[in-house]
Amino acid sequence: MSSHDQVPDPLTAATRDVVMRYHLSWKARDIEAVLALYHPELEYNDFFQNRCMHREDMRNYLLATMPSGPEDFLEHNDRIRIDGDTAFIQYAISVAGGGTFHASEAITVRDGLIWRINEYALLVQPAAPPGKAQSQPPAASRLGLSARQLGMLARDIEEYFQSSQPYLDPGLDLHQVASATGYTRNQISYLLNQMLGQSFYQYVNQARLLHLLELLKTAVPPVRIDELAFSAGFNSLSAFYRCFRQHTGQSPKAYLKGAHGRS
């Protein structure tokens, strides 16, 4: 019999069947289907958090981890590698304008069910501006969030800012955002500093500026830019002018002149 006629390894084939069902259940966000594939003696090692979980922990973990919105932030690599009773899945978790987690799972199958999962995740940060060194992230185990949950945090913060517009409050602080979203200040700071490369106030002022630019689209001359800045939540004109120039490359006066020239 030639090598091309060899019968596929039955253990590899059985592992492939289980892991593909697991993979597709995750993509379909079917918690019950995922739970049904876990072995009673499951051991789930999340090395990003330095955390070990067992079968009884998994429902709450899936409820907190599996995305529920219409857009899936996971980018799966569907080329799953199988070797006997172990499979390897790779995926990425991206945050718009920020870093990306490159993640992988080593999944071991026993008795037709998933017996062990070792999950690894590495944050690939955007390149630092010239002359600015990359800061070292805090120990991930202190965050209490998996790599998937950090991706969800980014989406939740963005949705909160869009729907509730908390930035319109000139006194908005990190504690208020943490209280409103249910995350801790350390978790939000990690997201902003390590994945988006911004401080909290840079993120808030950017949201204020985008709000102001939308107001300018329908503003009737003469435009009182200072009043619009305060109505957008800026509590300092110097902070407003600095933010405006950083994001548009122009002063407000030059920007308005160009906008009126185009209208």
Where residue 21 sits, what CATH number does that domain have? 3.10.450.50
- My answer on whether 257 and 142 are in the same domain is no
- Are 263 and 257 in contact by the 8 Å Cβ rule? The answer is no
- My answer on whether 62 and 164 are in the same domain is yes
Return the residue matching tokens 């300092």. Answer: 236
The Cα 46–Cα 208 span in angstroms is 37
CA geometry: angle 28, 29, 33, nearest 5 deg: 85
- My answer on whether 26 and 124 are in the same domain is yes
Assigned domain for 253 exists? yes
Count of domains in the chain? 2
Q: How many helices (H) and strands (E) does the chain have?
A: 10, 6
- My answer on whether 22 and 128 are in the same domain is yes
Task: Identify the pLDDT of residue 9.
Answer: 82
Task: Identify the pLDDT of residue 54.
Answer: 96
Confidence of residue 141 (pLDDT cuts 50, 70, 90): low
Sequence-distant (6+) residues with CB within 8 A of 217 are: none
- My answer on whether 144 and 20 are in the same domain is yes
Q: Is 60 exceeded by the pLDDT of residue 3?
A: no
- My answer on whether 151 and 230 are in the same domain is no
Where residue 258 sits, what CATH number does that domain have? 1.10.10.60
Q: C-alpha distances in angstroms, 130 versus 15, 49, 97, 127, 133?
A: 48, 31, 18, 9, 8
Assigned domain for 187 exists? no
- My answer on whether 234 and 113 are in the same domain is no
Q: Which domain holds residue 126?
A: 3-168
- Are 107 and 116 in contact by the 8 Å Cβ rule? The answer is yes
- My answer on whether 208 and 78 are in the same domain is no
Indicate whether this model's pTM tops 0.85: no
The lowest-confidence range among 2-16, 96-110, 119-133, 167-181 is 119-133
Assigned domain for 248 exists? yes
Burial pattern 75-85, b for ≥16 Cβ within 10 A else e, equals: eeeeebebeeb
Confidence of residue 144 (pLDDT cuts 50, 70, 90): confident
Q: Of 92, 89, 77, which Cα lies nearest the Cα of 122? A: 92
- My answer on whether 231 and 139 are in the same domain is no
pLDDT tens-digit profile of 52-91? 999 999 999 888 887 665 454 555 555 788 989 999 988 7
Task: Identify the pLDDT of residue 202.
Answer: 92
Count of C-beta atoms within a 10 Å radius of residue 88: 16
Assigned domain for 42 exists? yes
Confidence of residue 1 (pLDDT cuts 50, 70, 90): very low
Assigned domain for 183 exists? no
Q: pLDDT higher for 188 or 97?
A: 188
Q: C-alpha distances in angstroms, 78 versus 60, 83, 128?
A: 26, 16, 31
- My answer on whether 142 and 222 are in the same domain is no
- My answer on whether 45 and 133 are in the same domain is yes
Assigned domain for 109 exists? yes
Assigned domain for 41 exists? yes
Average pLDDT, the chain: 83
- My answer on whether 19 and 114 are in the same domain is yes
Assigned domain for 139 exists? yes
Q: Of 14, 150, 27, which Cα lies nearest the Cα of 78? A: 27
Instruction: Read off the tokens for 112.
Output: 């037709």
The Cα 37–Cα 23 span in angstroms is 11
Task: Identify the pLDDT of residue 2.
Answer: 46
Sequence-distant (6+) residues with CB within 8 A of 158 are: none
